[in-house]
Structure 1
Amino acid sequence: MRNPLIVAIVTISLVALNAAGVQIDSNIQNKNVERTIDLTTQLVKIFHKITLENKATKEWSGVSYSFAVPKDIRDNLAYISIRDALKKELKATEEKTADGSLFTVSVTSSSPTPVLHVETVFSKSLEPYPTHITQNERQLVRYFDSAYSYSPYRTVTQKTTVQLASKSVESYTTVKPSAQVDGTITYGPYENVAPYSTEPITVHYENNSPFLTITNLERVIEVSHWGNIAVEETIDIVHSGAVLKGSFSRYDYQKDARSNQPSVKSYKTILPASATEVYYRDTNGNISTSAMRILKDSVELDLRPRFPLFGGWKTHYTIGYNVPSFEYLFSSGDQYVLKMRVIDHVYDDMVIEKATVKIILPEGTSNIKLIPPYPVTRLPDQVHYTYLDTVGRPVIVFTKQNLVENHIVDFNLKYNFSKVLMVQEPLLIIGFLYALFLIVIVWTRLDFSITKDNAATHHHKD
């Protein structure tokens, strides 16, 4: 018997889609969907392997296919990638509807049943439950989803595998057929699932992985054409897991023998291999408890705050380093291209609520064009003054919200800069020194003594 509520939801969805101008081809269906939900960290990573089928034709040449994200979790979506069977990424266009978002791609394949691989990453989708715990308690979280893969197309058969952070499962919703084996829960297979069907499930389990959230990150990149690029990041971090209740005992903390604790003692930040003169400090000064390892392809920092981070606790620090400009700055005549990461790897499975990137270019730069790897918010340009500047250095500023590790990719910044301007500062220094020497010479040649006047006065008295 069909649920009238589901029928109503489907009807409303189709009306909303038509109103938005999104066309869903009823001849296309999901022949098979294999979904894996990774809940082993603070992020929710969902992988879909979707086998398509077209009842009208076996030809796939630029056929549109839409992947749906429900409205209630759309704001938590940090990253989405849709690839074909050869793992080539397909360009997706997002169209918002009353029920969420549709990400549409063009599918071209010689196979009558092409395969798509969809990867989605969601932040803040795990709810600590209970919300407050003592120092020695476990951290339990809840995850809400549907046993059915949410899709605007009919699905012939589908199966979902949920991977948990531990074998300790408090409870989970059973939807026949479903089963749990250690830290894995399997839902399905389910057959002939109608479009936009949902079957709510809740999984309550133990997850002591670091629940760290970067509430604000400001990254400043200062470019010098004299061979150096200086990078500095100011970071605010909060432990966003279950809030610590009661007092904190360092004695109990030190004798706690648990291998997994909800608190965070340290984490690894990864910098470029060419990073030098690295510093790490907070408002009290340099933090000497950190350690640095120089690896073949990176510089690894073991950052250890002055105190362990429990739920609700915060820390604020600054990290900086220098890299040689020839690795990131490319030129042809007076045309330059700066190619650098938008963000660095701060810690594993990181979440950044808001990142602001400021790029300080040399004085005299013109025709600046930013090419970001994904949509960002460009803010008004600023001006930065340092020693010997006359009109100031242009500063390009842009922001991005809800970032994860998948956003560690390069931006391109194109601009023009005349090499003649590189001698401006040396000429200013030479001119200043010349003027200074000239003043000294003139000063030494002037005679400000009053000796002659005194002698003349003395002679008059005689």
Structure 2
Amino acid sequence: MRFSTLLLAFISLTCFSEIKAKIVNKNVERVLDISSQLVKTSIKISAEDTTGKPIKEYVLILNEPNLSHISIKDGSKNKVQAREANEGLQYVITFESSSAHQIILVETVSAKNIMPYPEEIKQHEIQFVKYIGLVHLYSNYETYSQKTIVKLGTTNILSHTQDKPFSVASDKLIFGPYESIKPLSKQELVIHYENQTPFMTVQKLERTIEISHWGNIAIKESIQLAHTGAKLTGSFSRYDFQKDGRSSQSAIKSYKTILPASASAVYYRDTNGNISTSNMNALNDLIDLELRPRFPLFGGWKTQYTIGYNVPSYEYLYSNGKKFQLKMHLIDHIYDNMAINKAAIKIVLPEGTDNIQLTTPYTINRQQNELVHTYLDTVGRPVISFSKINLVESHIADFTLNYTFSRVSLLQEPFLVSCFIYIIFVLTIVFLRLDFSIALHSHRE
């Protein structure tokens, strides 16, 4: 009898030890903002292990195409370790604290997921768009309860998914709460609604940062801008455009670019020359620059322009002996809810720079260093080049560039100028002392 009791206890302990952790989504709250050309999602996941074991890892699946940015934090809003898996569609989240209940906060931004529908409109017509996504959070785990709020920015809704329970509150759609959602559930969410915000896309940004140790940093941006909303069909009437301000609301008439507060010598030009239709407003911590293209941009129309300015180097460049560190934004604010297809950044350093080390806030495509020759250069200036695709405002962050530079090299340019002036002076003296007159001799016949 005693032996059977011990055997039963051993079997029970063995079975208990073999009980696997079962993670469930106890509650999911989603906020989906599709009021602009970008899709911004905020997700709060309350995960729990039903066996009471601490959750060590959580697999997050993002079924969101064209994902531009993702931020993952815990309940204390501290970043957690997350590594990509399965070609970036899955993120494995590792928790530092041992708890059977974890809060996960996820924020994402994606571009090109809101499509104009119809694809072509006339000048006076309203721009309607269509969004296609999922009603439920696509997850490996069972979800006990979930609610989704969709922000549209308009009350003009032509149609939407009728998955009950749902409700319409002003410019929002509320889906849920839904109970007992099975893992990997794919209930499609389709919304057809009015969206008059300009669909501005920077097809290519070429940003050049030129460093001078004489106290100045010159920044130049060449921007190829396109309206990627509903294409304009039919003729364009400037008379109707100026007569009725409500017409052509989706056209790009002007937009605001933010520059550093210390920016000076600002210029704004296109292939035809300077563009005078701009308004610069200097505030305490920034410069609000309103840009107005030469002509309004309708769907399918494009423009190209260059903007540049100078900033003092002491605000971004730090030194300790021969060691220097540059900290600046990798990209800057071009317009609200911006979307950049590709950005190519070049950093031009002074001649004689060595031991260059670049640190970026996110992964980039680094190109090989090169040399560029400008005035008074001998061996050339080092140029750091890299690129990044699919950028949004969340990518506005500082890069760090460390390098060494001898201050004696600053004397190179004044020395070359002095030598050039000295040579000219010597040549002038020699030229003045030479006699180039032609002697005339008379001959008697």
- The TM-score normalised by the length of structure 1 is 0.89
Q: Report the counterpart of residue 39 of structure 1 in structure 2.
A: 34
1:270 to 255, 258, 261: 258
Separation in structure 2 between the aligned mates of residue 318 and residue 407 of structure 1, nearest angstrom: 21
Whether 2:55 is the aligned partner of 1:92: answer no
Separation in structure 2 between the aligned mates of residue 335 and residue 67 of structure 1, nearest angstrom: 42
Please tell me whether the aligned partners of residues 26 and 153 of structure 1 are also in contact (alpha carbons under 8 angstroms).
Answer: no
| Residues 131-167 of structure 1: per-residue CA shift (max 9 Å, x gap) | 0001111110011111111112221111111110200
Q: Report the counterpart of residue 301 of structure 2 in structure 1.
A: 313
| Residues 76-135 of structure 1: per-residue CA shift (max 9 Å, x gap) | 1000000111211223211125xx611122123366422111000010000110000011
Residue identity matched to 1:296 = N
Please tell me whether the aligned partners of residues 179 and 186 of structure 1 are also in contact (alpha carbons under 8 angstroms).
Answer: yes
1:416 to 404, 407, 414: 404
Residue identity matched to 1:233 = E
Separation in structure 2 between the aligned mates of residue 133 and residue 364 of structure 1, nearest angstrom: 56
Separation in structure 2 between the aligned mates of residue 91 and residue 412 of structure 1, nearest angstrom: 22
Separation in structure 1 between the aligned mates of residue 73 and residue 43 of structure 2, nearest angstrom: 10
Q: How does 1:200-239 map to 2 (within 5 A)?
A: 200-239=188-227
Q: Report the counterpart of residue 129 of structure 1 in structure 2.
A: 117
**Residue 429 of structure 2 aligns to a residue in which SS?**
helix
Per the alignment, do residues 257 and 444 of structure 1 end up closer, same or farther by CA in structure 2, a change over 3 Å counting? closer
Per the alignment, do residues 341 and 354 of structure 1 end up closer, same or farther by CA in structure 2, a change over 3 Å counting? same
Separation in structure 2 between the aligned mates of residue 294 and residue 104 of structure 1, nearest angstrom: 45
Residue identity matched to 2:276 = S
Q: Report the counterpart of residue 153 of structure 1 in structure 2.
A: 141
Residue identity matched to 1:53 = E
Q: CA deviation at 1:439?
A: 1.8
Whether 2:113 is the aligned partner of 1:118: answer no
Q: Report the counterpart of residue 13 of structure 1 in structure 2.
A: none
Unpaired runs of 5+ residues, structure 2, are 1-19
- Larger CA deviation: 80-89 vs 257-266: 257-266
Q: Report the counterpart of residue 61 of structure 2 in structure 1.
A: 68
Please tell me whether the aligned partners of residues 254 and 292 of structure 2 are also in contact (alpha carbons under 8 angstroms).
Answer: yes
Please tell me whether the aligned partners of residues 153 and 172 of structure 2 are also in contact (alpha carbons under 8 angstroms).
Answer: no
**Residue 417 of structure 2 aligns to a residue in which SS?**
helix
Whether 2:46 is the aligned partner of 1:56: answer no
Whether 2:317 is the aligned partner of 1:322: answer no
Separation in structure 1 between the aligned mates of residue 280 and residue 111 of structure 2, nearest angstrom: 29
**Residue 426 of structure 1 aligns to a residue in which SS?**
helix
Separation in structure 2 between the aligned mates of residue 355 and residue 105 of structure 1, nearest angstrom: 29
Q: CA deviation at 1:59?
A: 3.4
Separation in structure 1 between the aligned mates of residue 232 and residue 396 of structure 2, nearest angstrom: 32
Q: CA deviation at 1:409?
A: 0.5
- Larger CA deviation: 321-330 vs 111-120: 111-120
Separation in structure 1 between the aligned mates of residue 245 and residue 217 of structure 2, nearest angstrom: 44
Please tell me whether the aligned partners of residues 36 and 162 of structure 1 are also in contact (alpha carbons under 8 angstroms).
Answer: yes
Q: Report the counterpart of residue 152 of structure 2 in structure 1.
A: 164
Separation in structure 1 between the aligned mates of residue 365 and residue 307 of structure 2, nearest angstrom: 24
Separation in structure 1 between the aligned mates of residue 61 and residue 292 of structure 2, nearest angstrom: 41
Q: How many residues align?
A: 426
Q: Report the counterpart of residue 5 of structure 2 in structure 1.
A: none
Per the alignment, do residues 260 and 307 of structure 1 end up closer, same or farther by CA in structure 2, a change over 3 Å counting? closer
- The TM-score normalised by the length of structure 2 is 0.92
Q: CA deviation at 1:428?
A: 0.6
**Residue 114 of structure 1 aligns to a residue in which SS?**
strand
Separation in structure 1 between the aligned mates of residue 39 and residue 189 of structure 2, nearest angstrom: 15
- Larger CA deviation: 233-242 vs 106-115: 106-115
**Residue 78 of structure 1 aligns to a residue in which SS?**
strand
Residue identity matched to 2:327 = K
Q: CA deviation at 1:253?
A: 1.1
Pairwise CA RMSD of aligned residues? 1.7
**Identical aligned residues as a percent:** 52
Q: Report the counterpart of residue 353 of structure 1 in structure 2.
A: 341
| Residues 306-340 of structure 1: per-residue CA shift (max 9 Å, x gap) | 11111001111000000000001111111111111
